[in-house]
Amino acid sequence: MTTAHDFSFTAIDGKALPLSQFKGHPVLVVNVASKCGLTPQYEGLVSLYHDLKDKGLVVLGVPSNQFMGQEPGTNDEIASFCSATFGVDFPLTEKTDVKGDTAHPFYKWMKQELGEPADPLWNFHKLLFGKDGQPIMAFGPRTEPTAPEIRQAVEAAL
């Protein structure tokens, strides 16, 4: 049986980022962009991560330029922006496609497992998988990272 732990991304610094390194941790995967009206959600993601990382939560940011070109920068520019502007200290992947035929295999698999709600419609779409790598839930772009439904789902997964 396939789990999220079977997939690997490339980290924003170019190193391998296998999801298997997060076994035993729930992971909130969020496709992000630096020039989107929803970009201030980074604040909530950092807050959620800091609140719950000691209990095991991992937040994984996946920069994507698929939504109206709102992530135009290089990986270095994205990393600098996220760190300097929002204090992002959770892992980030390199710029990655998250929808359509060119979507990263993890995103295709999550859509297969959770259906349409897992297909990103815009930046800051959130996908949660559990400690065992099993898909749990998808949250739309307008659901703030600090929303009660995300907090409850994450805490239940911890």
- Distance, CA of 100 to CA of 53 (rounded, Å): 31
Report which of 99, 36, 38, 25 is spatially closest to residue 73, judged by C-alpha positions: 36
Three-state DSSP state, 40: coil
Active site residue 82: no
Question: What type of residue is 137?
Answer: M
Taking CA 89 as the corner, what is the angle to CA 49 and CA 6, rounded to the nearest 5 degrees?
75
> 10 Å Cβ neighbour count for 62?
26
The number of residues in the chain equals 158
- Distance, CA of 112 to CA of 109 (rounded, Å): 5
- Distance, CA of 45 to CA of 144 (rounded, Å): 9
Residue 29, token pair as written in the block: 């995967």
Out of 6, 8, 36, 43, pick the active-site residue.
36
**Catalytic annotation, residues:** 36
